[in-house]
Structure 1
Amino acid sequence: MKLRDIIDSPCGLRYVIDSLPLASGYSLRYLMDTEALTAQEDIAAAYSRMREHLSAAGDGNLVSMLHSILCSLKDISHTLSRIEAGNTVDDIELFEVKALILLGRRVSAVLEKASQTSIAPHTGDLEDALKVLDPDGTEIASFYIYDSYSPELAALRADIRREADADRRTDLMDREQALEAGIREELCRTLRPSVPALRKLQEELARLDIDLAKAVQMLRMRLCIPEISTSGVTTYKGMYNPYVKEVVERAGGEFTPIDLSFGDGPVVIIGANMGGKTVVLKTAALCQWLFCFGMGIPAEEALIAPRERVFFISGDAQDMGAGLSSFAAEMKAIDGVVRASAEAPAGSCIAAMIDEPARSTNPIEGTALVEALVDILGQREVALLLTTHYNIPSSHCIRLRVRGMEDGKMNYRLCPAPEGDVPHEALKVAESLNISPEWTGKAKKLLEYE
């Protein structure tokens, strides 16, 4: 699965990606086409690169210089493919190739001067290609068919400048164009063996932009580099959702960080609507996705287990195009988790984060559906984190609840939820929203009567 496939998942992932200080639009597209990491060694390598870039990320002047250079990075894959296929490209495309090499050399020079050679791109294999495109050694980011390529061409151009007769001048210019075409063809033939090294440089520069942006973001947002769990259990200390935190703080509030552990048996978070359950679930999903792409984690500490597949099901899943109601679309999505877990080979690592399944059906059937889901996925060793306002027995799961509204403020911290009914918090939430006292008061009296 690529980042672009999940970028609009309603967990706050787009907010984090949009906050990355990337220099180049090409780097963003490259990042969007990145596959999620699932193997422990690949994830470890990604965070190792993050650590290598932290020193550079902490140097504001260096980051600014690199940003000003990398903003010129463009995707010239089409040009490189044309050269590789034996086509003759035009002067603009040859300029793009030259500019890429010069850009790589400038970045390397800046990093070497800052003693950051470990993260510098490799341009040594392209010295010959640069000589082909810059025969005069000016290292200026421009290109045309230079006189240096051909004494015949240089002499012909001198004749054109001296020629006063229009017809004769036209003939000479036709000969010039023919010579230039032959030189372009030869240049492309000479550059063809360098195409793999050019592709590698383009990708190295994009990865440098991305890795540096990740490291800068980690320092600015005070994210953490997670440890990799080998037990299958994921644990967060002081976890928070960057988007929700910004919204809360903008309104003058304070986001309470969350401690959470799951993966050793199903974890069910119970509570009323607007009780904070969904924020916790979305934040856990966000952290798992960020982990899959080697990014900083919004938490004080994190120990995260790699997952081969991650399912996040949240919100109104109504699918008008397929003619499905919210309940039907939700059931189909959750059924995908059940079937995937049944078909997965032994030892597979699957995580599922499901927000209030069967919320839109009647409570009796809804409770039965959720209890059955927890039981099935629990037996299949799926790392399940689920929210619900139904009363699910603790024999099937670890029951937690969000502390909820306290003194008019939302406290997202989790605490154990004892056996019994789900917390009766709906009226408390309604009162915090300044709902009509006439309405809430009458509801209270009806509850007292019952």
Structure 2
Amino acid sequence: MNDFIDNNTKEVIGLDYILRKIDTITPYGKELKENIEPFKIGEEDLLIKQFAIIERLVKLIKENKFFFKNIKNILHNIKDIRNSTLRAKEGYILSNVELFEIKGFILTLVELSEELKTIEDQLDNSIIINRIVELETLLDPQKTKIKAFYIYDDYSDRLKSIREKKRQIDNKIKIEKKEIKGKLERELSLKIRPDGSILISKNQKEILEKVKNNPNLIYSSETYMNIKFTLKSTPTLYELEKELAAIKEREEEEEQEIRQHLSEKIGFYYNEIIMNTQYIGKLDLMLAKTYMAIGTNSIKPTILKEHRISITNGRHLKVEDILKSNGQEFTPISITLYEGVSCITGANMGGKTVSLKLVGQLCAMAQYGLFVPCTKMETGLHGFIYGSIGDMQSTDKGLSTFGSEISSIKEGLKKADKNGLILIDELARGTNPDEGYAISKAIVNFLKNKKSITLITTHYDNVANSDGVLHYQVVGLSGIDYEELRNKMFSNANSMDLVSQCMDYRLKKVTKDTRVPRDAINIARLMGLEESIVEDAEKILFGTVVKQ
């Protein structure tokens, strides 16, 4: 997985957040999710096939929510039986608890198979449940479909005979005890407890003496107030209880033989059981992907054999969730990218970094077999996704911000010929503007003829003004009535919130001759910076070639 995307890139583009939102239920589905792998270049047809399954499931779930709610309820009851099944295969005798869990699993296969039968023509063969009829009969001989495990009399005539004998002896013991209790109650005029004990107060001297001298009672225990006596075993009771202990031992031996037989049969069907755990895992993961697609209002991306990206009205799910929690809406972003370099320019608060992360997140989602949050997306598969985004400070290694940034970027540059997606945020921001511009321009020149799709955000105007470089600008505050906004800000304590609300985060494709919007200077003016300073800044800006 690290060959495709490293942990830092996963985190900064929000892929780890997305993967956590995939809500698998079973231990098999959870394991598949933990080890999820992206589809690789050359596996486009496999990915298209998976998307077709999810698309059908989306339609089916929307048509019959209660049906799939029942499927999820069934999945919630599934336990991990792989270790027990392996023990059976290796010749171990399974415990009653293990047999109980395996029986539950086998009967769950019946439930799932019967439920899914109505839509099996809509599912891929990799998620069709296969019943194991012989184990159904073996573990549920009475066909009750009750998941509790019990070694039934039906398992052997010998067991049936032993248990019948045991019941007879139990009955004789009960009769013998009942007769002794009745006799004692008449003799002593006392009530004996159901467990065969009697409690006498130490103050009842006369009764206590009679009880002590009774040959059918024996001292058991005492407190500071009472003395407890229990029924003494008679010769008849002694012989019956001795016979019962022997018959119980024979019962345990017979049950052990039956458990051994059941374990051997389970071991014989090891491969079929494991195959079904894999089917259930795939079904669970596929349903989780489908429910996520529905919950995030996502669509099936079109997978291309060519290496390009086109996103229409894309949304970054993590940022969108944060905005929703604050009562705000995410502004959808549209962008088209090709091999070579594309740049995004605009004001620092204009959402350039979010656009960069959005491209990374949606491309990664598509490659991991997930529907994407947008109205349309076309993309080829990438050999890797690499991001140099966020704070590059690395004090633990003694590197400056710029040193850490270059250390990060060079890892992406090494792979640039491998048809990947490279995302670089605010290139060379950690050094002085002149050198930063020169390094940025040189990196763009290096990457623009490579096989990777590279998207760079930059505050250097002329970095994007190179032949062969696609240039996008954040729309920003263009078209805003600054005088009206200034008046609103004057009477509002949350002036920056007003600026944010007026900011248009969409991207527009521009030519290299397009004048860069000066939102930073406009914002400074709106925030009340001395007008003479703002005017001087404008003079400096328009008299400079490489600096803002």
Q: Shorter-chain TM-score: which interval? A: 0.7 to 0.9
1:250-281 superposed Cα distances (whole Å, 9 cap, x missing partner): 54544332221112321111223222111111
Cα 1:24/1:174, change in 2 over 3 Å: same
The answer to whether the Cα contact below 8 Å between 2:112 and 2:129 also exists between their aligned partners in 1 is no
1:346-377 superposed Cα distances (whole Å, 9 cap, x missing partner): xx421112222332222223223322222222
Map of 2:149 onto structure 1: 143
**2:245 corresponds to 1:152:** no
The answer to whether the Cα contact below 8 Å between 2:26 and 2:75 also exists between their aligned partners in 1 is yes
Q: For 1:167 and 1:331, locate their aligned partners in 2 and report how far apart those are by CA, in whole Å.
A: 85
Map of 1:197 onto structure 2: 272
Of 368-377 and 164-173, deviating more is: 164-173
The answer to whether the Cα contact below 8 Å between 2:130 and 2:276 also exists between their aligned partners in 1 is no
Map of 1:60 onto structure 2: 65
Map of 2:493 onto structure 1: none
Match of 1:78 among 69, 74, 83: 83
Shift of 1:295: 1.0
The answer to whether the Cα contact below 8 Å between 2:525 and 2:531 also exists between their aligned partners in 1 is no
**2:466 corresponds to 1:394:** yes
The answer to whether the Cα contact below 8 Å between 2:524 and 2:534 also exists between their aligned partners in 1 is no
Q: For 1:72 and 1:429, locate their aligned partners in 2 and report how far apart those are by CA, in whole Å.
A: 58
Q: Which amino acid aligns with 2:519?
A: E
Q: For 2:360 and 2:471, locate their aligned partners in 1 and report how far apart those are by CA, in whole Å.
A: 19
Q: Secondary structure at the match of 1:231?
A: coil
Cα 1:190/1:26, change in 2 over 3 Å: closer
Of 19-28 and 291-300, deviating more is: 19-28
Map of 1:425 onto structure 2: 519
**2:459 corresponds to 1:369:** no
Map of 1:110 onto structure 2: 115
Shift of 1:236: 1.1
Match of 1:354 among 387, 411, 424: 424
Of 134-143 and 243-252, deviating more is: 243-252
**2:476 corresponds to 1:404:** yes
Q: For 2:88 and 2:426, locate their aligned partners in 1 and report how far apart those are by CA, in whole Å.
A: 54
Q: Which amino acid aligns with 2:294?
A: L
The answer to whether the Cα contact below 8 Å between 1:272 and 1:426 also exists between their aligned partners in 2 is yes
Map of 2:135 onto structure 1: 129
Shift of 1:386: 1.5
Shift of 1:174: 3.3
Same amino acid, percent of matched pairs = 26
Flag the structure with larger Rg. 2
Gaps of 5+ in 2: 174-239, 481-498, 541-548
Match of 1:10 among 5, 9, 12: 12
**2:51 corresponds to 1:47:** yes
Match of 1:258 among 329, 333, 336: 333
Cα 1:147/1:274, change in 2 over 3 Å: same
The answer to whether the Cα contact below 8 Å between 1:26 and 1:73 also exists between their aligned partners in 2 is no
Map of 2:359 onto structure 1: 284
Shift of 1:90: 1.7
Shift of 1:50: 1.0
Match of 1:235 among 310, 313, 326: 310
Map of 2:509 onto structure 1: 416
Map of 1:37 onto structure 2: 39
TM-score norm. by structure 1 comes to 0.87
Of 287-296 and 135-144, deviating more is: 135-144
Cα 1:358/1:185, change in 2 over 3 Å: farther
1:374-400 superposed Cα distances (whole Å, 9 cap, x missing partner): 222222211111112123132252121
Q: Secondary structure at the match of 1:139?
A: coil
Cα 1:431/1:158, change in 2 over 3 Å: farther
The answer to whether the Cα contact below 8 Å between 1:327 and 1:361 also exists between their aligned partners in 2 is yes
Q: For 1:274 and 1:355, locate their aligned partners in 2 and report how far apart those are by CA, in whole Å.
A: 13
Of 289-298 and 332-341, deviating more is: 332-341
Structure 1 runs (4+) deviating above 6 angstroms are 2-5
The answer to whether the Cα contact below 8 Å between 2:340 and 2:447 also exists between their aligned partners in 1 is no
**2:387 corresponds to 1:312:** yes
Q: Which amino acid aligns with 2:29?
A: S
Q: Which amino acid aligns with 1:306?
A: L
The answer to whether the Cα contact below 8 Å between 1:56 and 1:212 also exists between their aligned partners in 2 is no
Shift of 1:309: 1.5
1:412-436 superposed Cα distances (whole Å, 9 cap, x missing partner): 221234437854322445678xx5x
The answer to whether the Cα contact below 8 Å between 1:427 and 1:440 also exists between their aligned partners in 2 is no
Of 364-373 and 163-172, deviating more is: 163-172
Map of 1:345 onto structure 2: none
The answer to whether the Cα contact below 8 Å between 2:310 and 2:337 also exists between their aligned partners in 1 is yes
Of 160-169 and 126-135, deviating more is: 160-169
The answer to whether the Cα contact below 8 Å between 1:274 and 1:429 also exists between their aligned partners in 2 is no
Q: Secondary structure at the match of 1:302?
A: strand
1:217-268 superposed Cα distances (whole Å, 9 cap, x missing partner): 3234321111112221111111122332344455454433222111232111
Gaps of 5+ in 1: 343-347
Cα 1:198/1:245, change in 2 over 3 Å: same
**2:453 corresponds to 1:447:** no
TM-score norm. by structure 2 comes to 0.72
Match of 2:453 among 379, 383, 408: 383
The answer to whether the Cα contact below 8 Å between 1:374 and 1:396 also exists between their aligned partners in 2 is no
The answer to whether the Cα contact below 8 Å between 1:23 and 1:68 also exists between their aligned partners in 2 is no
Cα 1:212/1:443, change in 2 over 3 Å: farther
Cα 1:174/1:329, change in 2 over 3 Å: farther
Q: Which amino acid aligns with 1:444?
A: V
